[in-house]
Chains A and B, each alone.
Chain A
Amino acid sequence: MSTLTKTGWDVVIGLEVHAQLLTRSKMFCGCPTAFGARPNSQTCPVCQGMPGVLPVVNRRAIEFGIKTALAFTCRINPACRFARKHYYYPDMPKNFQISQYEEPLAEDGALEIDVDGASRAIGIQRLHLEEDVGKLLHEGTLETAQASLVDYNRSGVPLMETVSRPDLRSPEEAAAYLRAFRAVLVYLGVCDGNMEEGSLRCDANVSLRPRGATELGTKVEIKNMNSFRNVKLALEFEVKRQRQALAAGERIVQETRLWDADRGYTRAMRSKEYAHDYRYFPEPDLVPLEIERAWVDAIRAALPELPRQRRERFVRQYGLPPYDAGVLTQSRALAEYYEAAVREFRQPKIVSNWIMSELLRELPGDDERAIERAPVPPANLAGLLRLIEDGTISGKIAKDVFQKMVGSGEDARTIVAREGLTQVADEGALAAVIDQVLAQNPKAVEDYKGGKTAAKGALVGQVMKATRGKANPAIVNRLLEEKLSKI
């Protein structure tokens, strides 16, 4: 034991991600999938699991599955089948979920992630399709509720489950995997990636083993982590909990634990909350799928540029540092925002700086919808940068203008004109201000002549103050130097 505490433990994490696919209709029936409808207004006998109904596979869901599998370089199984997974829980009235078991849609892929500047391929074990289940609202908490309420709108929405290999070595890597995973799905347009609304959900298997050991330790499954932040916090908590238990000589119990985000800990689920005797068997109502080569080839040919490829292109095409390229390609919307702005203002690094420091101060870069609806559209950002370039406003004023653009949605020119922010580049006017400043600051002038060059900065500051920041700094500097040299 003492050698173990000295050498420590390796963390082993595998993630299971469930993604709702952006199809119009459900997996096995024609009910709509739109989020936020009145409870139980988007159901039919098929998705409510009435006896005697016939489910039929949604072709687009299969296409989205193949598309994603190709992006993760998985092998598409030429034959796949659906299976019934049995369990009793009121989120699914027919008491089984149509899923895939022995012959999933795809297997054996990888997703590259970047942690601390190094990139690593994380194995993907399998990718399969299934149907989502209804949503439960408990009267009180699950433990104390005397009854629960059910909305079956979500029941039957196509769900894609992707299981990683236990290749992740820290909560940070798990978060990086999830981010990269989400970005690929969003780029592909197969999922909106919204964790808060539950279109992307993540469970984790966590275990510890003595450093350097090859055998896996006893794993614990963590559920209910509904944001990137919570995934990281929950895994950090669980790793610490297991480390302390092992250090105290305890054994880890294989179990499912729920992350409680409000209280910041994981707790064991009561055994009745889950069952592992699923009794899978082939779904008799759905005939097997034979995925044709030509279909796969056509989907492959139409794959869009993926986040990693786009990031590499940004470095190559725009000469951006890899860090900038990574930030700008975190979502498809942000990458598109950037490229639209660069098309109108052809100085890639300046555009990148403004997006990273100003736009992303206002909006989350991984939120597609927020970026698409940015109050400052790319053309307006380009317009602002042109005003700096042609000397109409200074960079400092431009930052204030940007803030105002965010607030009002107006373009830069309108705001600059209305508020009289145009930079003073009139040399005659500036010379008069400088003369006045020199006359009022004899001490600074004396210091400067005495060799204290820093005193010039103070004088520039006075000129800027007198012009309310609107003086063109280059002209002020030149005129000031000329005048000081003559004194």
Chain B
Amino acid sequence: MITRQDVEHVARLARLELGDAEIERMREQLNAILGYIDKLRELDVTNVEPTSHAVPLVNVMREDEVVPCLSQDQMLANAPDRVGELFRVPRIIED
């Protein structure tokens, strides 16, 4: 069972600010999702290889070749704040 505290913890890790009603809604939805996983557990998967990917592909690699980057201006264009050639981000350490 997902508790209110679990939701608050996950929200904090994801940097999400949730109101009381949202926490309750998330709690219900997460429990519903986990409940469905319990349903899946009823399947017999003894002969099924565990997999992390849905596509039957392995070893997709590229050669070590440099391709043109985007320009500095393009890459900085979306920055909410910048100082010259650098991104500027708010204070990292919270009190």
Contact = CB atoms under 8 A, between A and B. Distances in A.
Interface string B45-72: 0000000110101111111111111111
A24 interface: yes
B60 A287 contact: yes
A279 interface: yes
A58 interface: yes
Interface in A263-290: 270, 272-273, 275, 277, 279, 282, 284, 286-290
A352 interface: no
B60 A150 contact: no
A44 B13 contact: no
Contact of B64 (A61, A137, A151): A61
A342 B46 CA distance: 66
A142 interface: yes
Interface string A126-155: 000000000011100011011111111000
* Interface residues on chain A, size class: 35 or more
B30 to A, nearest CB: 15
Contact of A58 (B61, B70, B85): B61
Given A40-B75, A142-B93, A287-B58, A277 B86 contact: no
Contacts of A148: 88-89, 91-92
Contact of A272 (B15, B57, B58, B93): B93
Contact of A273 (B58, B62, B67, B93): B93
B61 A62 contact: yes
Contacts of A205: none
Chain A at the B interface: SS class: loop
Contact of A32 (B62, B66, B71): B66
A289 B55 CA distance: 13
Contacts of B65: 24-25, 30
A39 B65 CA distance: 21
Interface string A76-91: 0000010000101110
A105 B65 CA distance: 22
A48 interface: yes
B92 A145 contact: yes
A40 B53 contact: no
A261 to B, nearest CB: 20
A59 interface: yes
Contacts of A58: 61-62, 64
Contacts of A70: none
A57 interface: yes
Interface string A23-61: 111000111100000111111110010000000111111
Contacts of B70: 43-45
B90 interface: yes
A14 B37 CA distance: 40
B79 to A, nearest CB: 9
A289 B72 contact: no
Interface centre among A32, A142, A149 (most CB of B within 10 A): A149
A258 to B, nearest CB: 13
Given A32-B69, A40-B87, A287 B64 contact: no
A178 B83 CA distance: 37
Contacts of A48: 75
Interface of A: 23-25, 29-32, 38-45, 48, 56-62, 81, 86, 88-90, 136-138, 142-143, 145-152, 270, 272-273, 275, 277, 279, 282, 284, 286-290
Given A24-B65, A150-B89, 17 more contacts: A24-B64, A24-B66, A25-B65, A25-B67, A30-B65, A44-B70, A58-B61, A59-B64, A60-B64, A81-B52, A143-B93, A150-B87, A272-B92, A277-B13, A287-B59, A288-B52, A290-B58
27 contacts: A23-B64, A24-B64, A25-B66, A29-B67, A31-B69, A32-B66, A32-B69, A39-B86, A40-B76, A42-B69, A44-B75, A45-B70, A57-B60, A59-B61, A61-B64, A81-B52, A86-B13, A89-B92, A90-B92, A145-B92, A147-B89, A147-B90, A147-B91, A149-B89, A150-B86, A272-B92, A272-B93
A-B residue pairs, 7 tightest by C-beta? A30-B67, A282-B52, A60-B64, A149-B86, A59-B61, A90-B89, A150-B87
